[in-house]
Amino acid sequence: MTVALASSPQGRSEDPNQAAPPRPLHNHPAFGQMVQQRHLMVLTQIISRDVNDPNVLAAMRVVPRHAFVPAALQGQAYEDYPLPIGKGQTISQPYIVAFMTAALRLQPQSRVLEIGTGSGYQAAVCAELAREVYTIEIVDELAQSAARRLKELGYLNVFVRTGDGYYGWPEKAPFDAIIGTAAAGKVPEPLLSQLAPGGRMILPVESEQGLQYLMLITKAKDGSLSQKRLLPVQFVPMTGQVNAPGQARQ
């Protein structure tokens, strides 16, 4: 059901746990393009909305968002709205990417699980801050294209899998942070179990009234969970097991 598409450099083990993965490379020409647009995006869309984590701001200035959107839309890559990437999916608004990343409080040794790879942009932003990013995409064509794109751009600490994100990535658990980029009626139980003690999870959750909110879930050292509703959002729906009968909304 799943195929791992690890972006591993030649000569390294395919198992990222065998050695510390390299930091992202910034040698691709895309990093030198549209630099001023990225700086303006950070200033007017992100800092102006009180996202001030310096590491997150630096990542948003570095990652070339235009490389993650279709060529016809690259001129709009740094505007204040999501963009379609095909297969009914979107790349999220830059502010939302920054807000969700900041909420995770990533550290250099953090191991991140992302549900919903999409274009790979959110994974790249997390990869600038964290040690490893494991990302799952249910649409195989998107998973394949994101894996190629991330490898070409030098994100060798990102590992892509085709599969149902409801189940997470148990063989690589626990994760210090989990981020979801598609809305579900409830938080999948496997993801809660794969969150490490002291870890943080953020994802959009849809209420019975059909409204979506970003939910921040923290797991204490003793394993107890707490939830906090953050801000209203609009994400594409999560598909797969999360929509099976018996999966009641929260």
Torsion region of 116: left, alpha or beta (phi above 0 gives left; psi -120 to 50 gives alpha):
left
- Give the Cα separation of 234 and 61 in Å (integer): 24
Residue 27 neighbours by CB under 8 Å, 6+ apart: 154
Whether 48 is catalytic is no
- Give the Cα separation of 13 and 93 in Å (integer): 35
Active site residue: 7, 92, 110, 119, which one? 92
CA 88 to the chain's CA centroid: 18
Q: Which residue has the tokens 């990652």?
A: 63
- In DSSP notation, 101-130 reads HHHHT--TT-EEEEE--TTSHHHHHHHHHS
- In the chain, helix, strand, coil percent, each to 5? 35, 25, 40
- Give the Cα separation of 16 and 20 in Å (integer): 7
CA 116 to the chain's CA centroid: 7
Q: Hey, which residues does 177 pair with through a beta bridge?
A: 112, 200
Edge-to-edge, what's the strand order for the sheet holding 132-137? 3-6, 158-162, 132-137, 111-115, 175-180, 195-206, 212-219, 225-233
Residues that are catalytic? 92
